[in-house]
Amino acid sequence: MKIHQDDKGRYCLNDCHKASGAGNKNRPSIWADNSQTKALIAEIQSEAGIPALVVSKGGNASGTYACKELVYAYAMWISPAFHLQVIRAFDALVTGKVHTAPVVDQLNDPAFLRGTLLTYTEKVLALEAEKAEAAPKVEGFERLANSKGRTNLREVGKELKIGSTRGIELLREVKWIYRDGRGIWKAYSGAIDRGYVEMKYTTFKNSSGEETSTQQVFVTPRGMARLAVRLQLH
């Protein structure tokens, strides 16, 4: 797959999109439509005097074409690793410090684009592994959960030896819980998806002796272990 250029030297973002996996969320049209991109395009065009981004329709040259600066911005939008690789490739050509193929050749290489995206993921995983290895081992994770395998919010801080109030504050800081309009604790969907917290119905007797049910937030054993590691790292 080749990254085409138009007669003004602009790069075809559709080719970049295809080479990066053609994810629907990464379409150039979506990127070009956000307000930050529009502001950047306007700023570049005010200096350059020619369109920084054009959409060509029809024929073999159809697609979205962008100048080098917008290639940077689009690369960052897709992946920080891809962004960094493109910057370094252009910089190497300008300074002559590193002998490398022209950036257009690298952009024409699907393996290069896929590799940079994978490298970013691998770096994140490696960083997590380094943190886990450097931190003191957290022993007895079972101690961090109650007999039902999960811990209610009032007990989180007690189990972590930081106090009940601080435990609630910690859960809010890491964006696991929040209060709804009625002042009731709720869990963020992201924390639920990662298995750190759960929303469970609990039954109790009210002041009239009647049984009633309500949803409560509980922290899972995995969540408690995660909090324990976080406290040791910080």
Q: What confidence tens digit (pLDDT) does each residue in 171-217 have?
A: 999 999 999 888 889 999 888 988 899 988 777 676 777 777 778 89
Query: Does 41 share its domain with 81?
Result: yes
pLDDT tens digits for 87-116? 776 666 556 554 444 445 555 565 555 555
Task: Write down the pLDDT at residue 96.
Answer: 57
Cα dihedral 62/66/67/73 (nearest 10): -160
With respect to residue 174, please indicate whether it lies within any of the assigned structural domains: yes
Residue 233, pLDDT above cutoff 90: no
Domain membership of residue 187 as a residue range: 141-233
- Is the per-residue pLDDT at 51 higher than 90? no
Per-residue confidence (pLDDT) for residue 112, from 0 to 100: 59
Indicate the range of 9-23, 24-38, 49-63, 134-148 predicted with least confidence. 134-148
Residues 103 and 84 occupy one common structural domain: yes
User: What mean pLDDT is predicted for residues 51-66?
Assistant: 76
3, pLDDT greater than 90: no
The confidence score (pLDDT) of residue 163 equals 92
Per-residue pLDDT band for 142 (boundaries 50, 70, 90) equals very low
Same-domain status, 124 and 146: no
State how many domains the chain has.
2
Q: Which of 87, 105, 131 is the last residue of a domain?
A: 131
pLDDT > 90: percent of the chain: 12
Confidence class for position 165, pLDDT limits 50, 70, 90: very high
With bands split at pLDDT 50, 70 and 90, how would you rate the model's confidence at 117? Answer: low
* Residue 92 shares a structural domain with residue 157: no
Q: Quick one: 120 and 50 in the same domain?
A: yes
Domain's final residue, options 101, 131, 161: 131
Evaluate whether residue 68 is within a structural domain. Answer: yes
* Average of per-residue pLDDT across 42-70: 78
Higher-confidence residue of 139 and 158: namely 158
Higher pLDDT residue, 167 or 12?
167
pLDDT of res. 141 = 44
Asked whether residue 65 carries a pLDDT value surpassing 50, the answer given is yes
Q: Are residues 124 and 16 in the same domain?
A: yes
